Chain A
Amino acid sequence: KAGVTQTPRYLIKTRGQQVTLSCSPISGHRSVSWYQQTPGQGLQFLFEYFSETQRNKGNFPGRFSGRQFSNSRSEMNVSTLELGDSALYLCASSLGQGSETQYFGPGTRLLVL
């Protein structure tokens, strides 16, 4: 079975721009969660999507949004980028039956200049 894939792997943007990141979960997994990793804040939960609906949300501003498609693939969007948005963005997938093991993709490294 293929693992979680994320595209692109690396991205450079400037302040004020917007960015869209993509995640394809493991086949059969219906839950996709997004996390942000920064040196200062560690690994923080952004949001989770299940059956095309946002089921859970972390403490991030509204500039961070996401969606999930009928094939469980997910995208996250960050608008009006700030320097502090530079981070490793990780996507994780799971079956979606409750608290269970989440399997992570390789991440997208975003640098905001």
Chain B
Amino acid sequence: DQQVKQNSPSLSVQEGRISILNCDYTNSMFDYFLWYKKYPAEGPTFLISISSIKDKNEDGRFTVFLNKSAKHLSLHIVPSQPGDSAVYFCAASRMIKAAGNKLTFGGGTRVLVKP
């Protein structure tokens, strides 16, 4: 049972335009969400996170939106740059100390930014 899904396996966007990545989750117990960027044969790099008490979080070119009723979050990258070409993973967890630190990942979206 895939609790976190990224339905678009790939995305191609022109440099300077907006990249929008989507993520859906099914487990209503998730209340902390993260986006990671990953290059081949490297570990994921943290980009941005959001807790369920917010519906938007912004950090530079990256903005994450959370729609709890729809169990949906999205990552906006504006403007997109060629260096943003990578695989992006959405991850979810529960913000309870007793639950420990388990991230549940989506399948990833490969982004290609064309110059």
Contact = CB atoms under 8 A, between A and B. Distances in A.
Contact of B103 (A97, A102, A105, A109): A102
Which size bracket describes the interface of B in this complex?
20 to 34
Interface stretch (B19-27, B62-70, B75-83, B91-99): B91-99
Contacts of B60: none
B46 A99 contact: no
B59 interface: no
B103 A45 contact: yes
A66 to B, nearest CB: 13
Nearest to A96: B101
Interface stretch (A14-22, A50-58, A68-76, A77-85): A50-58
A43 B102 contact: no
Prevailing SS type, chain A contact patch: strand
Interface string A87-109: 01010101011111111111101
Interface residues of A, number: 31
Contacts of B45: 104
B41 interface: yes
B34 interface: yes
A35 B103 CA distance: 9
A35 B43 CA distance: 10
B88 interface: no
9 contacts: A4-B43, A42-B105, A92-B101, A98-B97, A98-B101, A99-B32, A99-B101, A103-B46, A107-B41
